[in-house]
Amino acid sequence: MWPKDAVPESVVDDLFERLTAIYGQRFVDMWHRSNPNVFRETWGLGLKGLSPAQIRRGIAACFHAKYAPTLPEFLEFCIAVPEHRAPSLPALTHEHRITPVGVAQKAKIDAILAKHRLPKREPGGGTHGIKWAFKILREANETNVPLNKLAIAQQAITNWCTTHGCSRDDLDENGEWTNTPDARQIDDVELPLRVPSPHIVGDGVTHLARMREPGDDDEDIAA
Protein backbone atom coordinates (compact mmCIF):
# COMPACT_ATOMS: atom_id res chain seq x y z
CA MET A 1 0.00 0.00 0.00
CA TRP A 2 1.40 3.41 -0.99
CA PRO A 3 2.40 5.54 2.05
CA LYS A 4 0.12 8.47 2.86
CA ASP A 5 3.09 10.71 3.68
CA ALA A 6 4.64 10.23 0.25
CA VAL A 7 4.12 12.10 -3.00
CA PRO A 8 1.64 10.50 -5.42
CA GLU A 9 2.88 7.24 -6.87
CA SER A 10 2.53 8.64 -10.38
CA VAL A 11 5.13 11.31 -9.55
CA VAL A 12 7.71 8.64 -8.65
CA ASP A 13 6.86 6.60 -11.74
CA ASP A 14 7.32 9.61 -13.98
CA LEU A 15 10.59 10.56 -12.27
CA PHE A 16 12.05 7.05 -12.60
CA GLU A 17 11.07 6.95 -16.23
CA ARG A 18 12.90 10.21 -16.89
CA LEU A 19 15.99 9.18 -14.92
CA THR A 20 16.11 5.92 -16.85
CA ALA A 21 15.87 7.87 -20.09
CA ILE A 22 18.81 10.06 -19.01
CA TYR A 23 21.12 7.42 -17.50
CA GLY A 24 19.83 4.21 -19.05
CA GLN A 25 21.06 1.00 -17.42
CA ARG A 26 23.20 2.95 -14.92
CA PHE A 27 20.09 4.07 -13.08
CA VAL A 28 18.47 0.62 -13.19
CA ASP A 29 21.62 -0.98 -11.82
CA MET A 30 21.45 1.27 -8.76
CA TRP A 31 18.35 -0.43 -7.38
CA HIS A 32 17.90 -3.73 -9.19
CA ARG A 33 19.05 -5.63 -6.06
CA SER A 34 16.62 -3.71 -3.80
CA ASN A 35 12.98 -4.46 -3.24
CA PRO A 36 11.28 -2.41 -5.98
CA ASN A 37 8.37 -1.46 -3.75
CA VAL A 38 10.60 -0.31 -0.89
CA PHE A 39 12.81 1.56 -3.32
CA ARG A 40 9.89 3.43 -4.91
CA GLU A 41 8.19 4.16 -1.58
CA THR A 42 11.44 5.51 -0.11
CA TRP A 43 11.80 7.94 -2.99
CA GLY A 44 8.14 8.89 -2.64
CA LEU A 45 8.69 9.74 1.02
CA GLY A 46 11.89 11.62 0.25
CA LEU A 47 10.22 13.80 -2.37
CA LYS A 48 7.43 14.82 0.01
CA GLY A 49 7.32 18.59 0.43
CA LEU A 50 8.93 19.39 -2.89
CA SER A 51 6.98 21.43 -5.39
CA PRO A 52 6.60 20.28 -9.01
CA ALA A 53 8.92 23.13 -10.03
CA GLN A 54 11.63 21.87 -7.66
CA ILE A 55 11.33 18.31 -8.99
CA ARG A 56 11.64 19.63 -12.54
CA ARG A 57 14.73 21.57 -11.42
CA GLY A 58 16.23 18.34 -10.11
CA ILE A 59 15.57 16.55 -13.39
CA ALA A 60 17.12 19.44 -15.32
CA ALA A 61 20.23 19.23 -13.12
CA CYS A 62 20.61 15.58 -14.05
CA PHE A 63 21.25 16.63 -17.65
CA HIS A 64 24.64 17.90 -16.47
CA ALA A 65 25.47 15.18 -13.92
CA LYS A 66 27.61 12.32 -15.26
CA TYR A 67 26.31 9.73 -12.80
CA ALA A 68 22.81 8.81 -11.71
CA PRO A 69 22.05 10.54 -8.39
CA THR A 70 21.12 8.86 -5.17
CA LEU A 71 18.04 10.13 -3.35
CA PRO A 72 20.00 12.62 -1.18
CA GLU A 73 21.88 13.85 -4.26
CA PHE A 74 18.66 14.30 -6.21
CA LEU A 75 17.13 16.27 -3.33
CA GLU A 76 20.12 18.61 -3.47
CA PHE A 77 19.50 19.06 -7.18
CA CYS A 78 15.89 20.01 -6.44
CA ILE A 79 16.67 22.59 -3.77
CA ALA A 80 18.32 25.54 -5.45
CA VAL A 81 21.26 26.93 -3.51
CA PRO A 82 20.98 30.75 -3.34
CA GLU A 83 23.55 32.32 -5.61
CA HIS A 84 25.83 35.00 -4.28
CA ARG A 85 24.89 38.30 -5.80
CA ALA A 86 26.64 41.58 -5.35
CA PRO A 87 24.53 44.12 -3.45
CA SER A 88 22.59 46.45 -5.64
CA LEU A 89 24.51 49.71 -5.80
CA PRO A 90 23.25 52.92 -7.31
CA ALA A 91 24.76 53.75 -10.68
CA LEU A 92 27.31 56.52 -10.77
CA THR A 93 25.69 59.70 -12.04
CA HIS A 94 26.29 63.42 -11.97
CA GLU A 95 23.26 63.88 -9.72
CA HIS A 96 23.96 65.81 -6.54
CA ARG A 97 21.59 65.06 -3.68
CA ILE A 98 20.93 68.11 -1.53
CA THR A 99 18.52 68.87 1.30
CA PRO A 100 15.90 71.64 1.09
CA VAL A 101 18.04 73.74 3.43
CA GLY A 102 20.99 73.20 1.14
CA VAL A 103 18.94 74.24 -1.89
CA ALA A 104 18.06 77.55 -0.25
CA GLN A 105 21.65 78.18 0.80
CA LYS A 106 22.94 77.32 -2.67
CA ALA A 107 20.50 79.78 -4.25
CA LYS A 108 21.76 82.53 -1.94
CA ILE A 109 25.38 81.71 -2.73
CA ASP A 110 24.70 81.69 -6.49
CA ALA A 111 23.09 85.13 -6.16
CA ILE A 112 26.17 86.45 -4.36
CA LEU A 113 28.48 84.97 -6.98
CA ALA A 114 26.46 86.54 -9.78
CA LYS A 115 26.40 89.94 -8.05
CA HIS A 116 30.14 90.08 -7.55
CA ARG A 117 31.01 88.23 -10.76
CA LEU A 118 32.67 85.51 -8.71
CA PRO A 119 33.38 82.08 -10.13
CA LYS A 120 31.40 79.20 -8.63
CA ARG A 121 34.35 77.88 -6.69
CA GLU A 122 36.05 78.59 -3.40
CA PRO A 123 37.39 82.12 -3.82
CA GLY A 124 40.97 83.05 -3.13
CA GLY A 125 41.70 86.52 -1.83
CA GLY A 126 44.87 87.31 -3.81
CA THR A 127 46.26 87.47 -7.32
CA HIS A 128 49.72 86.16 -6.48
CA GLY A 129 49.37 83.34 -8.99
CA ILE A 130 49.42 85.73 -11.95
CA LYS A 131 51.68 88.57 -10.81
CA TRP A 132 54.66 87.02 -12.59
CA ALA A 133 52.94 87.74 -15.91
CA PHE A 134 52.38 91.41 -15.02
CA LYS A 135 56.05 91.66 -14.08
CA ILE A 136 56.96 90.56 -17.61
CA LEU A 137 54.66 93.23 -19.08
CA ARG A 138 56.34 95.89 -16.96
CA GLU A 139 59.75 94.68 -18.06
CA ALA A 140 58.63 94.97 -21.69
CA ASN A 141 58.02 98.71 -21.14
CA GLU A 142 61.59 99.21 -19.92
CA THR A 143 63.69 96.74 -21.89
CA ASN A 144 63.58 94.27 -24.72
CA VAL A 145 61.61 91.12 -23.88
CA PRO A 146 61.44 88.12 -26.27
CA LEU A 147 58.15 88.16 -28.14
CA ASN A 148 57.32 84.57 -27.24
CA LYS A 149 57.85 85.36 -23.54
CA LEU A 150 55.60 88.40 -23.82
CA ALA A 151 52.93 86.39 -25.66
CA ILE A 152 52.99 83.72 -22.95
CA ALA A 153 52.49 86.34 -20.22
CA GLN A 154 49.59 88.00 -22.04
CA GLN A 155 47.88 84.65 -22.68
CA ALA A 156 48.38 83.63 -19.04
CA ILE A 157 46.65 86.81 -17.85
CA THR A 158 43.76 86.21 -20.23
CA ASN A 159 43.35 82.62 -19.04
CA TRP A 160 43.61 83.64 -15.38
CA CYS A 161 40.88 86.26 -15.76
CA THR A 162 38.65 83.74 -17.54
CA THR A 163 38.93 81.17 -14.77
CA HIS A 164 38.54 83.78 -12.00
CA GLY A 165 35.47 85.52 -13.37
CA CYS A 166 37.01 88.91 -14.02
CA SER A 167 38.33 91.03 -16.88
CA ARG A 168 41.73 92.57 -17.59
CA ASP A 169 40.40 95.97 -16.49
CA ASP A 170 39.80 94.63 -12.99
CA LEU A 171 43.58 94.37 -12.43
CA ASP A 172 46.13 97.17 -12.38
CA GLU A 173 49.61 97.08 -13.92
CA ASN A 174 50.94 95.19 -10.91
CA GLY A 175 48.25 92.54 -10.99
CA GLU A 176 46.38 93.91 -7.99
CA TRP A 177 42.61 94.27 -7.82
CA THR A 178 41.39 97.70 -8.87
CA ASN A 179 38.51 99.61 -7.34
CA THR A 180 36.35 99.40 -10.45
CA PRO A 181 32.72 98.37 -9.85
CA ASP A 182 33.30 95.09 -11.67
CA ALA A 183 36.39 94.09 -9.70
CA ARG A 184 36.16 91.15 -7.31
CA GLN A 185 36.06 92.43 -3.76
CA ILE A 186 36.51 89.23 -1.83
CA ASP A 187 36.54 90.88 1.57
CA ASP A 188 33.12 92.43 0.98
CA VAL A 189 31.41 89.11 0.21
CA GLU A 190 29.14 88.00 3.03
CA LEU A 191 28.45 84.30 2.58
CA PRO A 192 25.57 82.59 4.45
CA LEU A 193 26.26 80.68 7.62
CA ARG A 194 27.53 77.17 7.11
CA VAL A 195 24.97 74.42 7.56
CA PRO A 196 26.14 71.80 10.12
CA SER A 197 27.09 68.55 8.42
CA PRO A 198 25.65 65.23 9.66
CA HIS A 199 28.81 63.55 8.34
CA ILE A 200 31.13 65.35 10.80
CA VAL A 201 31.19 63.94 14.33
CA GLY A 202 29.94 66.54 16.77
CA ASP A 203 29.23 69.14 14.08
CA GLY A 204 26.30 71.26 15.18
CA VAL A 205 26.06 69.61 18.63
CA THR A 206 24.95 72.28 21.11
CA HIS A 207 25.18 70.30 24.35
CA LEU A 208 28.96 70.17 24.24
CA ALA A 209 30.67 72.97 26.10
CA ARG A 210 33.38 73.30 23.46
CA MET A 211 34.52 71.31 20.45
CA ARG A 212 38.10 70.15 20.40
CA GLU A 213 40.47 72.54 18.72
CA PRO A 214 43.75 71.82 16.91
CA GLY A 215 46.52 71.62 19.47
CA ASP A 216 44.33 70.38 22.34
CA ASP A 217 46.46 67.25 22.67
CA ASP A 218 49.62 69.34 22.70
CA GLU A 219 48.24 71.50 25.50
CA ASP A 220 47.40 68.45 27.56
CA ILE A 221 50.91 67.13 27.16
CA ALA A 222 52.42 70.48 28.06
CA ALA A 223 50.26 70.66 31.17
Residue 190's pLDDT is: 60
Residues 6 or more apart whose Cβ sits within 8 Å of residue 9: 2, 40, 44
Give whole-number Cα distances, 111 to 116, 159, 208, in Å.
Answer: 9, 24, 34
**pLDDT for the residue numbered 141:** 85
> 121: closest CA among 171, 188, 180, 184?
184
pLDDT tens, residue by residue, 78-115: 987 655 555 666 666 655 667 788 788 888 877 776 76
**pLDDT tens string 146-192:** 888 888 888 888 888 887 777 788 888 888 877 655 555 554 556 66
Q: Are 165 and 189 in contact (CB under 8 A)?
A: no
Q: Is the pLDDT of residue 120 over 50?
A: no
8 A C-beta contact, residue 54 and residue 79: yes
